[in-house]
Chain A
Amino acid sequence: MLEIRNLHVKIADEDKVILNGLNLKVAKGEVAAIMGPNGSGKSTLSYVIAGKPDYEVTDGEVLLDGVNILEMAPDERAAAGLFLAFQYPMEIPGVATMTFLKAAMNAQRKQRGEAELTTPDFIKRVNKAADLLGIPKDMLRRPLNVGFSGGEKKRMEILQMTLLEPKMSIMDETDSGLDIDALKIVAEGVNARRDPEHAFLVITHYQRLLDYIKPDTVHVMSRGQIVKTGGAELALELEANGYRDYQSAA
């Protein structure tokens, strides 16, 4: 599903190199986790995959189902089935959450050549997903994420993920800020869509999330590279020993 080959990334207009020849594969149906120390480049990797303009790819490829997406605009990547749940979701003053959700859902449908959702159909889908995530209706009427608590913003990311039905979902520290109930709901959502058509890349610092979403693969990232890959047991090992074995590996 997702294949990253020898990715080198630096900050645009600066010399600062963040990703340093990173290789990663996420197969169809796979749930992969990335763990790694603060500042190792996990969010940068997720931003580069999603197409954030502040970064410059100096070498390497990012393939989604075999297609190099690095030349695509962020909206085209989304239409191709990619979704990033942000570590720090943006507040968008003045844009009502419902307006935003409708624009997003219809934009993707348009890109895929599907008809726009009717208003009743749209509202039905949103209400159903919102109920499941425990998102109250009045939150949907407020401007997107403005004044939302940390956990509410994370729930809103998952609401979007649910509604947009991506095939490749990247979740950047979605668990930070979520209460235990929400964590379970999010995990259930992911587990429910664990099938050969969907894949997940879960960035996290905590083993706890991985108790609920049992990963097929765990990658350790350090200084802009994947330095170790293993199964779910690797997360337990990291929980016990920290990253000291990997800090100097890069």
Chain B
Amino acid sequence: MSAKITPMRSAAESALIDRFPAVKASLPGLASAREDAFAAFVAAGLPTRRNEAWKYTDLRAAMREAAPLAARPNDAEITVALKGPSPLARQGVVTLSFVNGHYVATAGTLPAGVSITPLAQALTDGHPLLGRIGALKLANGDLAMSLNTAFMTDGAIIHVAEGVTVDGPIALRFVTSGATAVATAARVLMVAEAGSQVMLVESHEGQGALAHQPNTAVEIIAGDKAVVSHVRLGLNSAGAVALSTLTADLGSETSLTSVNVALTGAVTRHQAFVRFSGGDARAQINGATLLSGTQHADSTLVVEHAAEPGGESRELFRTIIDDEASGVFQGKIIVQPHAQKTDGRMASNAVLLSENAAMYNKPELEIFADDVACAHGATCGALDDELLFYLMSRGISKAEAEALMIESFVGAAIDFIDHEPIRDILHGLVQDWLQARAARLNAGAPTVS
């Protein structure tokens, strides 16, 4: 194609490139993986709209400057960071806290059959599962993953032994904190061996308005017949440019449920790369996103059916967009030639609450097998007037009728979570969002409809 030209580096790109040699020298382990990932980043730069995978989220424009990679916090900083209430952490039978990408504490008791090693320690000591970090090729070349791999500081390796049922959620709490904006790169690998059952919940928390730049990756490897449920909650600082990635490699007859609830942050992107490596697995991947102000949130999903029988994947993404916010859903289902009998269904539904709200839907199917049932549907529109009228005709105010409809709309994605207390907490956060909206409506000029 065209001759190789040296791209103009943005300030953020230059800073990241300049930073790497010193960071590499100070960060333990996986040197060649870091080098490769860094080389991939240098070659591609930060993605812009011209990069098909980032078509609607111009990361290069959003990340004008690269915030410095956060140092390990001291005790005082840790205390401050962990002081605030954490919605999901208290549900964990065991909770790992990370401040600015560094492992700082474990609370609760480690369930039998589960081992957890902080990643920095695993990297230094040479953990037997290190080789499985970054093993899912499906996510290779993804820019957020490359940056995370190049700069990963800490995180955890979680191992759930064969046949073990873990009684409650393993919770990961990622907090960004400090007087100035920082970049973080935490990485978690969970290997759930054959026949195990486990729930992993992550909350991403940031106080204030600082433009933190967290980039977190969680990798799940599920053995045959494992049952894994996963919940991610995005409560980043209001100014955050936050990236997060879930990868999942599913063995035969496994079941994965993943629900991402995205609430705060200026520019956020959550990606899921899910590969059906074993036959007849099942995955339900959901997202519930509520946006206001000038927020931008991107949900990007790649599901690859790569075994026979191809298994069943269901994706349900619900997005509520108010004010001038914008939402993105990019979903791709790939069915490899031998993955016959794949049954994949992907839906993205968005509700625009204001004339200036925007949604970009990009569903794609890449099907190379002939005996499959795959479908996708994307809708985008205002709340249904007829339903609003029906509710209002019973005396329910417009604001409350809208709230009922919004809650049920995103609730459809949340309600796949089996764990009732966590489901309730997430519904509570949606209600908080609705109350904030009601307050905005009351404060602003009365809207005429």
Measured CB to CB, the residues of A under 8 A from B are 50-54, 73-75, 77-79, 83-84, 86, 89-90, 92-95, 99-100, 103-104, 107-108, 111, 143, 160, 164
Contacts and interface: CB of A to CB of B under 8 A. Distances in A.
B278 to A, nearest CB: 34
B347 to A, nearest CB: 13
A78 B394 contact: yes
B389 interface: yes
Interface in B401-446: 401, 404-405, 407-409, 411-412
Nearest to A111: B395
A126 to B, nearest CB: 14
B408 A95 contact: yes
Given A94-B411, A95-B404, A99-B404, A78 B393 contact: yes
B387 interface: yes
A75 B386 contact: no
7 smallest A-B Cβ distances: which pairs? A94-B408, A78-B395, A108-B395, A104-B394, A74-B392, A90-B390, A75-B392
Contacts of B412: 93-94
A164 B395 contact: yes
Contacts of B411: 94
Nearest to B404: A95
B320 to A, nearest CB: 13
Interface centre among A54, A79, A86, A104 (most CB of B within 10 A): A104
Given A94-B412, A99-B404, A79 B395 contact: yes
A103 B390 contact: no
A89 B394 CA distance: 12
Interface residues of B, number: 23
A143 B397 CA distance: 20
B400 interface: yes
B396 interface: yes
Contacts of B405: 92, 95
B398 interface: yes
Nearest to B399: A75
B40 interface: no
A51 B393 contact: yes
Interface string B220-233: 00000000000000
B17 interface: no
A52 B324 CA distance: 28
A8 to B, nearest CB: 21
A83 B390 CA distance: 11
Most chain A beta carbons < 10 A, residue from B386, B389, B398: B389
B400 A103 contact: yes
Contacts of A108: 394-395
Given A75-B397, A95-B404, A100 B392 contact: no
B372 interface: no
B385 interface: yes
B434 to A, nearest CB: 13
Contact of A52 (B389, B395, B396, B409): B389
A160 B407 CA distance: 22
B394 A73 contact: no
Given A52-B389, A89-B390, A99-B404, A94 B409 contact: yes
A100 B398 contact: no
B365 interface: no
Nearest to B385: A53
A139 to B, nearest CB: 17
Contacts of B397: 75, 107
B238 interface: no
Nearest to A101: B394
A100 B404 contact: yes
B395 A90 contact: no
Contacts of A50: 389, 393
A54 B395 CA distance: 19
10 contacts: A52-B389, A52-B393, A54-B385, A73-B398, A75-B395, A78-B395, A92-B404, A94-B407, A94-B411, A95-B404
Contacts of A79: 395
Given A50-B389, A52-B393, A83-B393, 16 more contacts: A51-B392, A53-B389, A53-B449, A75-B394, A75-B397, A90-B386, A92-B408, A93-B408, A95-B405, A100-B394, A103-B396, A107-B395, A107-B400, A108-B394, A111-B395, A164-B394
